[in-house]
Amino acid sequence: MKVLGLESSCDETGIALFDTDSGQMWQRLYSQIEKHREFGGVVPELASRDHVVKAALLIREILDEFGPVEEIDAIAYTRGPGLMGALMVGASLARGLGWSLQVPVLGVHHMEGHLLAPMLTDDIPEFPFVALLVSGGHTMLVEATALGSYRILGETLDDAVGEAFDKTAKLLGLPYPGGPELAALADQTADSRFTFPRPMTNRPGLDFSFSGLKTYALYTVQQNSPLDETTRAEIAFAFQRAVVETLRIKCDRALTETGISRLVVAGGVGANMCLRQVLSKLAKDRGGRVYYPPPEYCTDNGAMIAYAGAMRLLAGQRDEAVFDVLPRWSIEALPEVSG
Ligand code: KG4
Ligand code: ZN
């Protein structure tokens, strides 16, 4: 089955074509980051308009490489969660193309896409596993017992990890989205005179809170301004260490509580090398394993949507030919895939 995947939930237009027989993936990714940078964050209306301009062009590019459009057997698009207007662009394109080709169209959960992205390697995690999903919009720990069977163990009560990275990076004068830039700045020092708090680690539970850490960064910046280069790097280092340590403690707890040994880390912040090192060590110390998507599939992309859609379509799942998107959508509401 050849499944076309469309991702347009935020500021990346991701298109991919996945052949379930050969495992081959064709993909194109266009990032709108440059467009939003001058505003210091994603502007929803700009995002929708840019998806309109780029999505069809990227589909054309893939077909030029792959072959005739009639060979597409099904279409998967991101139905939610995400920005309403941006989601509508992908949904309308998917539905329109599906109707004209007379092929099934399936709405995919964006976070399931992230959660299954590690399957796009040769080193596939088996169920059950605990997934740490860390992106610009979400931070959650999920127990995945089967394809489509997910239980949220904990999630953020306020800011997402990526959001905290981006806001702290902004305080340090780094351009949007500052996560990778803050990580690079932290790498410039081996230690820090600052110690940031590890929020919500001194009480039981698996929820997170990152807004206080961002405020702590604000006070640290204010108290040490004007910042010299060493101080900037030390603040970045202390912030990153606190985030990574907090995530490590919660992952450790989630693995203990579920009795599961496999940990999957996905979402944009999963590209963070410091986090990868620390979680790899945690899994090793516990006698388990940690799985990551290839770096290009950590941030938003069409391949993960094509893949997640393909798994459901192969199992016979179909959507009514309705046109809707779900900007707010719990991953626990998904139907389990049997067989
Ligand atoms: O998954 P993603 O592409 O988009 C959402 O669905 O939100 O994640 C983007 C987020 C941004 O906040 C970005 O700053 C962060 O992931 N990010 C990183 C790194 N690479 C991306 N944060 C820390 N370290 C990184 N290396
Ligand atoms: Zn995402």
Sequence-distant (6+) residues with CB within 8 A of 147 are: 116, 127, 311, 312, 315, 336, 337
**All structural domains of the chain with their residue ranges:** 2-115+297-333, 126-292
For residues 272-289, give the mean pLDDT: 97
Q: Atom 22 (ligand 1): residue with closest C-alpha?
A: 179
pLDDT, mean over the chain? 95
Residue 331 has pLDDT above 80, yes or no: yes
To test the pocket of ligand 1, the residue of 42, 299, 331 to mutate (highest count of ligand atoms within 8 Å of its CB) is 299
The DSSP bridge pattern shows strands 74-80 and 2-7 to be: parallel
- Which is the CATH superfamily of the domain at 126-292? ATPase, nucleotide binding domain (3.30.420.40)
| CATH classification number, 2-115+297-333, choose in 3.30.420.40, 1.10.357.10, 3.40.50.20, 3.30.70.2190 | 3.30.420.40
What percentage of residues in the chain have a pLDDT greater than 90?
A: 90
Residue 339 has pLDDT above 80, yes or no: no
Say yes or no: do domains 2-115+297-333 and 126-292 share a fold: yes
268 lines ligand 1 (CB under 6 A): yes
List, for residues 245-261, the tens digit of each pLDDT value.
999 999 999 999 999 99
To test the pocket of ligand 1, the residue of 115, 176, 269 to mutate (highest count of ligand atoms within 8 Å of its CB) is 269
Cα–ligand 2 centroid distance for 258 (angstroms):
25
Residue 125 has pLDDT above 90, yes or no: yes
Residue 120 has pLDDT above 80, yes or no: yes
137 lines ligand 1 (CB under 6 A): yes
Using CA atoms, how far residue 232 sits from 12, 120, 178, 179, 249, in Å, is: 29, 37, 13, 14, 26
For residues 237-249, give the mean pLDDT: 98
Which residue do the tokens 């995945």 mark? 144
255 in Cβ contact with 261 (< 8 Å):
yes
Nearest atom within ligand 1 for CA of residue 136: 7
Which pLDDT value is given to residue 320?
A: 79
Which pLDDT value is given to residue 321?
A: 74
Which pLDDT value is given to residue 230?
A: 97
**In the numeric block, which tokens belong to residue 194?**
């600052």
Cα–ligand 2 centroid distance for 129 (angstroms):
19
Using CA atoms, how far residue 207 sits from 152, 250, 267, in Å, is: 10, 8, 17
Q: What is the pTM of this model?
A: 0.91
Of the candidate ranges 33-47, 56-70, 281-295, the one whose mean pLDDT is the lowest: 33-47
305 lines ligand 1 (CB under 6 A): no
- ∠ CA(193), CA(194), CA(196), 5° rounding? 155
